[in-house]
Structure 1
Amino acid sequence: MSAKDCGHHDHYCRAKRYRLIFFAIAGLIILVLLAVFLVWLILRPTKPRFILQDATIYVFNVSETQPFTLTTNMQITVSSKNRMERVGIYYQKLDIYATYRSQQVTPPTSLPTNYQGHREIAVWSPFLCGESVPVAPGLMLALHQDQNVGAVLLNIKIDGNVKWKVGTWFSGKYHLNVNCPAYIKFGERNNGGIVVGPVMKFESAVHWLHCGCLSQ
């Protein structure tokens, strides 16, 4: 065999070897992607279901003179159900607050961090207090009308981060945004507070603002 033929043979062997390596790597990548897809399909995370269970209004006062302010003191009970059978939820840095017509009327109240197992229900009963919170003049007429009617529509919102837990594995952080509309009807005073009557339940709208992992 001539030197030229040997050179062609070596070139052919190298090309064949590179092709085998390429197909092996491509096959491995496909297998990994397939495994990830199957795991995601089996353990596909489902949004937790938040429900506003009840609320007690202790203070809801609107100032009569400028600058217009709103003082609010209320206690709410909100529950969250993990609907997944194989995935746990770890709630991190949850803040809850109330808004009226898109304006925040109470500062955020931090909820304790909590791990929620499979099919478990978590319940929080925080106080939401806002002392002399400035409100836009355009909201004053609506607030007075709501007080005269005896009911007000507030939105109870929760912002925070969650992680999924499968066995000993934790996912990255996901941003959770919860909105619970609460049509609060003022009823009889009870122990200094105004109790919502009757108790009304609202299933929240849950939004994931960020579908990728946030920085740890």
Structure 2
Amino acid sequence: MCSGKVCSHHKNEQRNSVLRCCACLLFFIFLILLTVLLIWAILKPKKPRFTLEDATIFTLNVSAPNVISTSVQVTINSRNPNSRIGIYYDKMYVYATYSNQQITFFTVIPPVYQGHKDVNVWSPFVYGSDVPIAPYNGIALSLVQSSGAPIEMTIKIDGRLKWKVGSLTTGRYHIHVNCPVSIKLGNSNSTGIIVGHGVKYQISQRCSVSV
């Protein structure tokens, strides 16, 4: 047995030891976070740059006011502008929208690593057969097609990425890419080139990127 003073002394020593361990752990975590932040500030990571190079239209039919069928192949150029930071792309999903409404299914771009200053080029098909849409969008698209005015669509990419600095890899970040497309489909002034059963349009349009 121990006296009250001795027991109290032991308890104080144990409490002080725990406090010292916690303080050391917090200081160690602080140093790690500070190091990461300093490295991040020095390297100044830049968002990847995406460009929609071209689009080949195979199908774009409004079979009813609320039903559309679409088949498009797009060529997308992705560039890593960083000289010291690599990018891991997780699965990314490509699809097309018209008047803010999705008109194709998702097409998956497999995971890929993009090195320093590297460029990746993807040519996915985005398509949808008898996709239901809002009736007013179907009517509007039919009117645009019949008038020969440019059709305004957007090719979108949603996914996740990770930054790689040396042997350090960050957590996942969401990436959203919007590529506007303006095509004079069926217009006499169209610059499209017939490719097989489709018409290819050169676009070379920079996309907006949000990370």
Match of 1:56 in 2: 56
Question: What are the within-5 Å matches in structure 2 for residues 52-131 of structure 1?
Answer: 52-63=52-63, 65=64, 68-131=66-129
Q: Which aligned segments of 4 or more residues in structure 1 are displaced greater than 4 angstroms? A: 24-33
TM normalised by structure 2 equals 0.80
- The alignment partner of 1:39 has SS state of helix
Task: List per-residue Cα deviations over 1:38-78 (Å, max 9, x = no partner).
Answer: 11112332110111000010111111x45x21111110000
- Contact map agreement 2:157 2:176 (CA 8 A) in 1: yes
Match of 1:7 in 2: none
**AA of the residue aligned to 1:172:** G
Task: List per-residue Cα deviations over 1:7-65 (Å, max 9, x = no partner).
Answer: xxxxxxx9xx99xx69x9587666545423311112332110111000010111111x4
1:155 corresponds to 2:160: no
- Contact map agreement 2:68 2:138 (CA 8 A) in 1: no
Determine the C-alpha separation between the residues in 2 that align with 1:150 and 1:194.
16
Match of 2:199 in 1: 194
Change (3 A) 1:73 1:85: same
Determine the C-alpha separation between the residues in 1 that align with 2:126 and 2:140.
21
Give the Å deviation of 1:184. Answer: 1.8
TM normalised by structure 1 equals 0.78
1:169 corresponds to 2:168: yes
Determine the C-alpha separation between the residues in 2 that align with 1:143 and 1:125.
25
- The alignment partner of 1:72 has SS state of strand
**AA of the residue aligned to 2:208:** A
Structure 1 gap ranges (5+): 1-13, 209-216
Change (3 A) 1:34 1:169: closer
Change (3 A) 1:36 1:154: same
Aligned residues: 192
**AA of the residue aligned to 1:204:** C
Determine the C-alpha separation between the residues in 2 that align with 1:28 and 1:143.
60
Question: What are the within-5 Å matches in structure 2 for residues 170-185 of structure 1?
Answer: 170-185=169-184
- Contact map agreement 2:45 2:85 (CA 8 A) in 1: yes
Determine the C-alpha separation between the residues in 2 that align with 1:160 and 1:92.
7
- The alignment partner of 1:143 has SS state of helix
**AA of the residue aligned to 1:87:** I
- The alignment partner of 2:83 has SS state of coil
Give the Å deviation of 1:108. Answer: 0.5
Task: List per-residue Cα deviations over 1:149-184 (Å, max 9, x = no partner).
Answer: 252111110011111112232211111111111112
Select 2:130's aligned residue among 121, 129, 132: 132
Task: Report percent identity of matched pairs.
Answer: 44
**AA of the residue aligned to 1:47:** K
Determine the C-alpha separation between the residues in 2 that align with 1:189 and 1:38.
51
